[in-house]
């Protein structure tokens, strides 16, 4: 007889960042994670995480709202149900609640972690098996200070921790941003890939001018230059420039991916388990992107170790990640709530081993950072 779900807990955890993390819409000094713990009748526990960027400044789900959704809407539906009936539970949650993909992602991750522990198999094995055990990871330079960003990048290159960098722009005047980015690219030269993330800050005319300048400066990729719902602008800009566009906020799931490809977009997509609704759902989106000839990139919501590990298990099953990953979330936080942190080295990170996610909670650290 299969085990049943006995408890579902959603815990708010606040961890300071190592430095202010500047985006076009806000600046972060603390990252809030919603840690989900699902226990079954055999005493096993599955872990999940729902994390967003900058609260409601970024998207429609806040950490507090995610906890409320799980506590008051998802938990009653899950208690007493077979813990290994993943598809049945996913369909039931989707029928009873619209959207709320971040909350659903945490639940799906916890159920997969629980199932992996029951079978004594890593999560990647449940998704078909890992093709990669070490994945490339870029770093975001987001201090806003040109020389500080250059020094930080050069140090990370020397340490072989990262060789690809992303710059958050869009909060300043266009040419101020361009000069900032161009100076960093000139200082790093060919030893590093430099990309930018505009976080929807430009209209199409500004994006056209900005992309022309960035293309001339040798920038490799421009992430989400225009507002998320303007698929036609992304398609026109992708046809106009040879510098690729990375679609991020525009895409939540496989349907969005299909619609953007049908609009004529070419470029790449930032896959995120949180936006898609979980590891299983994000791989559906990746399949549509591959069919449309659109490049893949392992994106992050700046998750901690639990959410990052779940993403890594999904990315490990993809044959080609054309633009690598940005799974650096745990490195942005001053501390961690797990027993064994992820191993970052050689410009990337190792896929965790062990059943499920391969991650264990540090109870003392969790108690220290749990919101009271």
Backbone angles phi, psi at 13, to 5 degrees: -130, 125
Q: How many CB atoms lie within 10 A of CB 296?
A: 22
DSSP for 311-358?
Answer: HHHHHTT-S--TT-B---HHHHBS--SBSS---EETTEEEPP-SSBT-
H runs (alpha helix) in the chain: 63-69, 75-78, 86-96, 101-119, 123-126, 146-158, 174-188, 204-216, 231-240, 254-262, 273-276, 279-291, 305-315, 329-332, 363-369
The catalytic residue among 49, 61, 152, 326 is 326
The catalytic residue among 104, 168, 185, 275 is 168
DSSP state of 244: P
Residue showing tokens 């000139």: 186
CB 202 within 8 A of CB 170: yes
Question: Quick check: is 168 catalytic?
Answer: yes
- Catalytic residues, which ones? 168, 326
């Amino acid at each position: 007889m299969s085990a049943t779900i006995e408890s579902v807990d959603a815990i708010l955890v606040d961890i300071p960042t190592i430095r202010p993390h500047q985006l076009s819409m806000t600046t972060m000094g603390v990252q809030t994670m919603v840690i989900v713990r699902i226990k079954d009748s055999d005493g096993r526990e599955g872990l999940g995480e729902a994390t967003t960027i900058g609260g409601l400044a970024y998207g429609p789900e806040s950490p507090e709202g995610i906890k409320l959704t799980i506590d008051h809407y998802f938990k009653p539906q899950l208690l007493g149900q077979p813990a290994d009936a993943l598809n049945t539970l996913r369909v039931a949650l989707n029928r009873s609640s619209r959207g709320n993909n971040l909350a659903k992602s945490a639940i799906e991750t916890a159920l997969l972690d629980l199932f992996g522990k029951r079978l004594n198999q890593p999560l990647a094995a449940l998704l078909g098996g890992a093709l990669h055990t070490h994945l490339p990871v870029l770093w975001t330079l987001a201090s806003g200070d040109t020389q500080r960003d250059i020094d930080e990048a050069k140090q990370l290159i020397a340490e072989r921790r990262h060789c690809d960098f992303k710059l958050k722009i869009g909060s300043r005047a266009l040419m101020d941003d361009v000069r900032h980015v161009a100076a960093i690219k000139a200082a790093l030269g060919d030893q590093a890939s430099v990309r930018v993330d505009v976080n929807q800050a430009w209209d199409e005319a500004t994006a056209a001018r900005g992309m022309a300048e960035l293309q001339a400066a040798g920038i490799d990729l421009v992430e989400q230059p225009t507002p998320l719902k303007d698929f036609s602008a992304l398609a026109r800009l992708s046809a106009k420039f040879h510098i690729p566009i990375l679609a991020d906020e525009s895409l939540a799931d496989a349907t969005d991916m299909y619609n953007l490809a049908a609009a004529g977009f070419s470029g790449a997509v930032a896959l995120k388990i949180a936006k898609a609704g979980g590891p299983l759902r994000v791989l559906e989106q990746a399949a549509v992107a591959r069919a449309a000839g659109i490049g893949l990139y392992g994106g992050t919501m700046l998750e901690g170790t639990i959410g990052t590990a779940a993403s890594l298990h999904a990315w490990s099953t993809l044959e080609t990640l054309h633009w690598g990953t940005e799974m650096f979330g745990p490195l942005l936080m001053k501390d961690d709530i797990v027993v064994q942190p992820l191993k970052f080295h050689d410009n990337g990170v190792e896929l965790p081993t062990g059943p499920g996610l391969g991650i264990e909670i540090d109870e003392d650290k969790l108690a220290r950072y749990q919101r009271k």
